[in-house]
């Protein structure tokens, strides 16, 4: 009897992590489920019971939300800014992290690393007014190019910091062997080192896709005209000081979530592999 009780207790202890994982998953999925339910209701249904299943389902909310907010244009703008920003961030950060990691014995590159770390501590609110004045002078306001420029500039320090730590684990002998065979430094980086950085590149890209897609402050300052607004800015205008349309707002939010959810479903394997490889190398 004692043995049976011990086996039962050990099984319960072993099942505890799984139970906690399921509870946490339900906790994180609850806001998403609430958003979907609200998106499929009219205002009267939402007022009666927020958690009730919509009866009937208001499928027209999604069509109306896309029409009113011009969401198709906003999604196109978000795709452009997110894709271009992530490509530039990963490329420039990989090159910067490689150079800093390989030249840490030189004071200039050690200083550059400290400068990157210092940049991580500067909040966007500190540089918001200077950026606005500078972009106004350079005619970069209300342009996607201007938004991409500031998104890349503010994201490179953190991404470079991640690459520096990963490049240290790449054997220097591989580059030396390539240089012995007549490979120049640029060719050695792009053909030898960069493919080995695929795990950390997947992590950096996945993180910044999420951040760039949901970025609000920079877009609010730089992209003020309706033709160049991104998804977060267009959703913001569903909620005013004196009136709010929660049903259409959540319908637009659900539609805008679909591209990013699809991306993470497709990139999930690479993201997990990248995190696992980083943990092993760390």
Q: What is the pLDDT of residue 272?
A: 66
Q: What is the pLDDT of residue 88?
A: 96
DSSP codes of every residue in 35-79? HHHHHTS-HHHHHH-SSSPPSS--THHHHHHHHHHTHHHHHHHHH
Q: What is the pLDDT of residue 1?
A: 47
pLDDT band at 5 (very low <50, low <70, confident <90, very high): low
For the chain, how many residues are written? 282
Alpha carbons 118 and 105: distance in angstroms, whole number = 20
More confident site: 94 or 69: 94
3-state secondary structure of 244: strand
Nearest to 82 by CA among 218, 195, 198: 218
What angle (nearest 5°) sits at the alpha carbon of residue 137, between those of residues 82 and 73? Answer: 30
Q: What is the pLDDT of residue 94?
A: 93
Mean pLDDT of the region 262-282: 65
- Name the region of 57 (left: φ>0; alpha: ψ -120 to 50; beta: rest): beta
Q: Residue 232 pLDDT > 90, yes or no?
A: no
Kindly report, residue by residue over 23-54, the tens digit of the pLDDT. 998 898 898 888 889 889 888 888 888 888 88
Nearest to 228 by CA among 88, 76, 86, 83: 76
CA-only gyration radius of the chain, Å: 24
Residue 175 token pair: 């580059």
Helices (H), the chain: 2-39, 43-48, 60-69, 71-102, 107-120, 124-137, 144-167, 172-180, 185-188, 194-196, 198-214, 217-222, 231-236, 246-281
CB 116 within 8 A of CB 155: no
């Amino acid at each position: 009897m004692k043995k049976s009780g011990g086996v039962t207790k050990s099984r319960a202890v072993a099942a505890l992590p799984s139970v906690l994982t399921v509870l946490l998953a339900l906790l994180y999925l609850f806001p998403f489920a609430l958003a979907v339910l609200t998106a499929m209701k009219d205002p009267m249904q939402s007022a009666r019971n927020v958690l009730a299943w919509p009866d009937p389902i208001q499928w027209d909310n999604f069509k109306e939300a896309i029409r009113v907010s011009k969401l198709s244009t906003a999604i196109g703008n978000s795709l452009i800014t997110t894709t271009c920003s992530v490509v530039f961030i990963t490329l420039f950060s990989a090159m910067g992290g490689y150079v800093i990691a390989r030249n840490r014995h030189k004071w200039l590159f050690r200083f550059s690393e400290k400068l990157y770390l210092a940049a991580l501590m500067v909040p966007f609110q500190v540089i918001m007014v200077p950026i606005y004045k500078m972009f106004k002078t350079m005619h970069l306001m209300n342009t996607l190019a201007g938004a991409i420029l500031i998104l890349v500039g503010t994201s490179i320090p953190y991404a470079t910091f991640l690459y520096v730590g990963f490049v240290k684990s790449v054997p220097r002998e591989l580059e030396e062997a390539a240089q012995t065979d007549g490979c120049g430094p640029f060719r050695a980086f792009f053909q030898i080192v960069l493919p080995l950085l695929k795990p950390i590149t997947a992590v950096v890209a996945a993180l910044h896709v999420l951040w760039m897609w949901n970025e609000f402050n920079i877009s609010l300052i730089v992209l003020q005209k309706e033709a160049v607004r991104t998804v977060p800015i267009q959703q913001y205008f569903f909620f005013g000081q004196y009136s709010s349309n929660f049903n259409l707002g959540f319908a637009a939010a659900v539609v805008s979530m679909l591209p990013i959810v699809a991306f993470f479903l497709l990139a999930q394997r690479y993201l997990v592999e990248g995190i696992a490889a980083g943990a092993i190398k760390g």
